[in-house]
Amino acid sequence: MDRDTKRLARVFKALSHPNRLQLFLNLLDESKLDLARGRTHDCFLVKLLGDLDIGAPTVSHHVKELADAGLIDTERDGKQLICSVRPEVIRELRELFAAAGK
């Protein structure tokens, strides 16, 4: 098994949890336009908390899992956590699924 396969397995494992998938989809939805232009869009995590029916500590755990899988980047701004989807991961997943559909 090569390195890319192992990395993709981590990505899919992170996305296999319903709360992490929903969090990622919410982040992706927030950043959709900027990703199309090849830029990242920053989203304060507190904005996304209202969309999920889980507590802040659980969200923090899921954010860490998404970041460890390479799906998002995080940055602290005082007490705020800023999350951004990594555009290169989205491009890679698009290419993977496009190749599978041929």
pTM for the whole structure = 0.81
Return the bridge partners of 73, or none. 84
Domains of the chain, by residue range, sit at 3-100
Among residues 19, 29, 92, 32, which one has the least CA distance to residue 60? 19
- Token readout for 5 is 């396969």
In sequence order, the 6+-apart residues with CB closer than 8 A to the CB of 7 are 70
If the chain, 102 residues long, is cut into consecutive pieces of 10 residues, what is the mean pLDDT of each piece? 85 95 86 58 64 80 94 87 85 88 76
| Measured CA distances, 89 to 27, 35, 62, 69 (Å) | 13, 11, 18, 10
CATH top class, domain 3-100: mainly alpha
